[in-house]
Amino acid sequence: MDKYVIEGGRRLAGSVALQSAKNSVLPLFAASILTEKRVTIRETPAITDVACMAQILRELGADVRFAGENVTIDSADACCHEIPPSLTKELRSSVFMLGSLLSRFGRALIAYPGGCDIGLRPIDLHLSALKRLGVSISEREGYIFCECGKLCGAEILLDFPSVGATENILLAAVKAEGRTVLTGAAKEPEIVDLQNFLNAMGAKVSGAGTDVIEIEGVKELRGVSYRPMKDRIEAGTFLLAAAACGGEVQVVGVAPENIRLLLHKLRENGCKIHAKNDKITIESRGRLKCNRRIETMPFPGFPTDLQAQATALNASCAGCALIVENLFETRFKYVPELQKMGADIEVRGRTAFVRGVGRLHGASVTAGDLRGGAALVIAALGAEGVSEVLDLSHIDRGYADLRAKLKGLGADIRRVHI
């Protein structure tokens, strides 16, 4: 097990280039199984979730090869429709394989997916939508078995704009017979990226980024070389770190409209923000003010994947903040670790009341999930004294060499094996 040792209190300065988006790359890996032709995904981040997804594809019979940041996937010999439970329990995004496997093989066997412990995250929306496409589903002893004679286009209405369900429907419907109209779709930028990837393979998908997506089924898809979008959550993490530490930092690669509400909240804190093209510069000086209220919502609302990091920032700001988590019921599990650093936070259900303190102090804390771990790193960077952030396995799931990027901005951070 590794840990970060962080000497807090250093201002951050400089520029940081962003990795490709974890939440885009993983569905693209799942989509690669839809064709027997070779697929290359360029500039893939070296994170453990990608390694796990690659292993899932190998278990299905695909040939997956890494050459630096580029990954080539050849699934011509893929023949297996079963995903080992040891891998599904490690990776929530394994659920994306349902639509792809059904489209390719007409059947899929998968254990209930795992990932970070941030709530139940039921997949009822996925399953009910697949049934509309002609899939029969049985559940027994923690496994989901799906089978179909053929997939047929359908009218599908989602009661909630689930990102995962939207992506699964796209993957299942793209080669279905006829036309599928999905109403109530998630609007996240990663959905648009998946549409662009599929269309580059010869699919006929339109409407991504709106709440109505139309898919005209095609008989086959071709290979493609594709560069995914940059990671808006990584961008937000660095911007929030710069706000907490003070200084001037530029993040390169993110479209400002993809994190518009975060930028508004940072201005509310008292930061200066300059955004042009794919570059966003933040300037943070003096003690910042708390946000009055942050409420997570589906895109274009405030991202749940930045809630913990924003809470860490507010913990040392002046005033009080109300943080409301609408998407995952146990996403405040990191709060007791922030309290070890002197944070004054009271959690009631899905709401956290934050009273800003003068400054957090160093402590030994443990990362219990990916974004909560990032929040602890931000808190440690802005705190007085030395902190240890233990169990980096969660952070490694979504951030490629976070230490090196922060060190390049002037942070005093070391990775130590224990």
Q: Are 14 and 404 in contact (CB under 8 A)?
A: no
Instruction: Out of 52, 79, 80, 116, pick the active-site residue.
Output: 116
Report how far residue 32's alpha carbon sits from residue 26's, in angstroms, rounded to the nearest whole number.
Answer: 10
Tokens of 296: 């997570």
Q: Are 194 and 166 in contact (CB under 8 A)?
A: no
Q: How many other C-beta atoms are found inside a 10 Å radius of the C-beta of residue 36?
A: 15
Query: 8: which residues sit within 8 A by CB, 6+ positions away?
Result: 360, 362, 380, 381, 382, 383, 384, 385, 386, 387, 412
CB-facing half-sphere around the CA of 90: CA atoms within 13 A: 17
Query: 53: which residues sit within 8 A by CB, 6+ positions away?
Result: 25, 26, 29, 30, 91, 93, 94
Residue type, 307: Q
Report how far residue 392's alpha carbon sits from residue 399's, in angstroms, rounded to the nearest whole number.
Answer: 10
Report how far residue 171's alpha carbon sits from residue 203's, in angstroms, rounded to the nearest whole number.
Answer: 10
Alpha-carbon distances, residue 392 vs 35, 37, 48, 217 (angstroms): 35, 36, 11, 42
Residue type, 50: V
Strand 364-366's sheet: what is its strand order?
364-366, 386-390, 2-7, 412-417
Report how far residue 250's alpha carbon sits from residue 78's, in angstroms, rounded to the nearest whole number.
Answer: 43
116 in catalytic set? yes
Tell me if the bond preceding 300 is cis, omega within 30° of 0.
yes
The residues annotated as belonging to the active site are: 116
